[in-house]
Amino acid sequence: MSHRYALLALLSLANLPSVFAADLIVLTPMMAGDRPVLRADPKGEAQAPILRRADNDTVTKGIAAETARGTVKFMLALDEQAQRLSGATPSPTYLLRSIEEGGFARRGFWLAEADNKVTWHADPYVDLVIDKQSIDDGSFEEIFSHELGHVLLRRLVPRMPNGMSRTPHSSLAITDYPTAFDEGFAIHFQSLARHLTVNTQLKAVDEGLGYKPFLPYWQSNVDRNLRIRGVRDNLFVHQQVPVALNLADATALFDLTHFKNGQQMLSAEGVIATLFFHLMVQPSDTSAALGERYKSLLASLRLLNGQRLGSGTPIFLNLIQAHIQRVPAARDQWIGTVLNLTYGATASNSVIRDLTNLSALGQEGRAEEFAAALKQSRYSLAALNAQITRNPQRLGAALGPELWLAFKEKNGEVTVNLNTAERTTLTTVVGFAPLDADLLLADRSARGPFLSVEDFAARRKAPPLWRKRLIEAHELAVRIGAYERK
């Protein structure tokens, strides 16, 4: 152990500054021809790469420069804190310069040292494709922060469960509680990167001055832009408009007059990212104040690892409860932020129901009616804030059970949660006629979440064969269980 880390091991967490210098070691894969060299891990359960320290070329020097400024410096400090909170002696953060498609938080690798000794490292690490351009334009800073966010969670909550959804995740998708929490936590660091960056090119892009014709319409660019704009403007709480482009339920077109229900919001990584960003970042922050706020968040995240978390646990709400119990002074701000951004959808259906009418009046420019409805909506939200602040356990009162169905398809199973599914899913996957799907969704919106598969079938008076198919699909979902995303 180096003198530096021996000293850190002797210091208590309370005596450490919130932000301080951190180490980043850049690695590259050992190659045999055009293939990375792999070796079985110490348990013989999986193949892991053999990595070596990267040459000190232009890209490595560029990465090293980023560790001394802006977001990368801040994130590395968070990683050191996460390691100490998890009970580990702090070690460097590892970054693999991948030769193939990167953008992952991985775990476990062999490190080849200069003396030909190969040692096992079980730690999580970031895997990225990096070039000089990505460093110069700030995209490295943004994506590295996202992936290191995953690493922080893996250090603090190694018992994080898998979710039931097989839907490919994206900022626009509705998946499940664990997936949305994991991805939303990571996504919010991209907005933080824009907040902290000193990169002039990234600042220009953030201000809308880096526009290039055609490129904004590519799928990944749409997703990246929404991870910033959607988080800042709270767009993800709105329902999407799938019919316009026939892109299923995940389109970049938001209907500003209709809103997701509470269960959908907590299963949407875009919403979770929005909540994290608005809880953490405040106007005119100093680096020290922001560091202290994140330090407190990491301590509360660590408490989740001692809880019994399952695929149906609304993990974000568990974090809220853990944090306000640990930091009572934060209770009003945290509860108020969550309720205001979600319009109370996790706790009650009443504000959201009125908001649909209010937003329609606003879009139509009907000033007098809008002003009257606005007064009532503000009163209702304030009353809900007061109620939940007195009784925080009611923050999830409007959430229904996780009612998963599974259907076998050519490329594997597809899963559907009846309390988060939208029209396209109900018609194309479950097989309902469009009218039946519309009536079921209207019923769910009016009377609240379905209580069971039988309740779902009964509300539409489904015939016996449909009931049988739904029950069998639910039983299959139970049998196949949660899904481990690679």
- Which pLDDT does position 97 carry in this prediction? 95
The CA distance from 36 to 59, in Å, is 20
Lowest mean pLDDT among 102-111, 159-168, 278-287: 102-111
pLDDT at 251: 67
Q: What is the pLDDT of residue 1?
A: 34
Sketch the domain layout of the chain as residue ranges: 1-135, 157-399, 404-480
Q: Supply the pLDDT for residue 2.
A: 35
d(CA 224, CA 291): 25
Instruction: Assess contact for 67 and 92: CB atoms under 8 A.
Output: no
The answer to whether 153 touches 166, Cβ cutoff 8 Å, is no
Report the chain's mean pLDDT, rounded to a whole number: 90
Please classify residue 168 by burial: count the beta carbons closer than 10 Å to its beta carbon, then call 0-12 exposed, 13-18 middle and 19+ buried: exposed
Over residues 240-265, mean pLDDT: 75
Q: How confident is the model at residue 21 (pLDDT cuts 50, 70, 90)?
A: very low
Higher pLDDT, 3 or 319: 319
Q: Report residue 60's pLDDT band, with 50, 70 and 90 as the boundaries.
A: very high
Amino acid type, 307: Q
Candidates 187, 191, 357, 379; CA nearest to 272 is 187
| pLDDT greater than 90 at residue 186 | yes
Mean pLDDT of 158-169: 94
pLDDT for residue 374: 95
Alpha helix (H) ranges present in 11-138? 58-66, 70-85, 132-136
Contact of 399 with 380, CB cutoff 8 Å: no
User: According to the model, what pLDDT value does residue 104 have?
Assistant: 72
Task: Extract the tokens encoding 131.
Answer: 């070039």
Question: Tokens 């943004």 belong to which residue?
Answer: 142
The model's pLDDT over 414-461, given as tens digits with 9 standing for 90+, comes to 999 999 999 888 998 999 999 999 999 999 999 999 999 999 999 988
Express each pLDDT in 81-133 by its tens digit. Answer: 999 999 999 999 999 999 877 667 889 999 998 877 999 999 899 999 999 99
Helix 177-196, helix 70-85: angle, nearest 10: 140
Distance CA(459)–CA(465), nearest Å, equals 15
Instruction: Tell me the mean pLDDT in the region 224-231.
Output: 94
State the pLDDT at residue 380: 95
Burial class (CB in 10 A: 0-12, 13-18, 19+), 14: exposed
pLDDT band at 20 (very low <50, low <70, confident <90, very high): very low
The two tokens of residue 40 are 């079985």
Q: What does the block give as tokens for 438?
A: 């519309």
245 confidence band (pLDDT: 50, 70, 90): very low
Residue 16 has pLDDT above 60, yes or no: no
pLDDT in tens, 134-149: 999 999 999 999 999 9
pLDDT at 400: 96
pLDDT at 485: 87
List the structure tokens of 275.
């909540």
Q: Is the pLDDT of residue 14 over 90?
A: no
Residue-wise pLDDT for 315-329, tens only, equals 999 999 999 999 999
Residue 246 has pLDDT above 60, yes or no: no
Question: What pLDDT band is residue 17 in, cutting at 50, 70 and 90?
Answer: very low
Q: What is the pLDDT of residue 116?
A: 79
